[in-house]
Amino acid sequence: MKFTKMHGIGNDYVYVNCFEESVKNPAEVSKFVSDRHFGIGSDGLILISPSAIADFRMNIYNADGSQAEMCGNGIRCVAKYVYDYGLTDKTEISVETLAGIKYLRLQVENGKVASVEVNMGAPILEPKEIPVAVEESPVVNVPVEVKGKIYHMTCVSMGNPHAIIFMNNVKDLDIAAIGPYFENHTVFPKRTNTEFVEVLDRNTVNMRVWERGSDETLACGTGACATTVACILNDKTESEVTVHLLGGDLKIRWDREANQVYMTGPATVVFDGEITLPDGIA
């Protein structure tokens, strides 16, 4: 199987061009290639395919084989791939995802995509649609007990579920000790991604993320978008925020009038390769 490894500020995936390749068992392939000791090493697998309703389609599989609806860092890399590898010459494209069609604007420098702005669509705030099993709507600053401690969460879906927890000194958080308990809490019927966020000023935050199905990752684009929405709902920031993640920065803007969230950030090719898949999953 030919592949390209790419990352968006450290959120790395194995990308397969399904215009040319066939992946019969993507969940098992994702688990295999994601292994950082025996595989390629990644947060998951992303398939780039033809679409009947958009320019391209992306299908995302987490490192544990579960399927994700949307990935903000991943979709920027899809945009870079299809332009840089000659699948399109357009600088404005549409991509079909399980969270709907997303629209992207590509910034090209010296014939290559340098950064991508993604219209991530409207944030979903209705608890049943996120989903989160609470009565409050929107779910803003709602208490939740995790491992015997009360936290206050704001929940947002950007096509996938997020719970945002505001705290101080997020860099010292033992995220591996608490992340799985949020992810698998009974209040989240489909599990959740959890963002632990420290507000620095009205335009800047630090964020760490425990991703559903992938543990802590260096970045999460949908999480940065959900965090910005949560910051604004809690009156902690203005409408445009720089989100500092472990892998780098994303600029997020929530246009309240149009109710659209925009994410801008880089996409990087790491290397191209070819791998022999084990018997049974090829």
Q: What is the distance in angstroms between the CA of the first residue and the CA of the last residue of the chain?
A: 8
77 counts as catalytic? no
Burial 85-106 (b: 16+ CB within 10 A, else e): eebeeeeebbbbbebeebbbeb
220 counts as catalytic? yes
Phi, psi of 82 (to 5 degrees): -65, -30
Beta bridge partners of 209: 195, 217
Instruction: Give the integer Cα–Cα distance in Å for 58 and 55.
Output: 10
Choose the catalytic residue: 71, 77, 155, 231.
Answer: 71
Structure tokens given for 223? 């999480």
Half-sphere exposure of 250 (CA within 13 A, CB side): 35
CB 187 within 8 A of CB 144: yes
At a CB cut-off of 8 Å and minimum separation 6, what does 264 contact? 115, 116, 117, 118, 250, 251, 252
Instruction: Give the integer Cα–Cα distance in Å for 136 and 277.
Output: 47
Choose the catalytic residue: 77, 220, 225, 231.
Answer: 220
* Distance (Å) of CA 57 to CA 72, 75, 158: 14, 10, 17
| Burial class of residue 124 (count of CB atoms within 10 Å of its CB; 0-12, 13-18, 19+) | buried
Half-sphere exposure of 21 (CA within 13 A, CB side): 21
CB 275 within 8 A of CB 4: no
- Catalytic residues, by residue number, are 71, 220
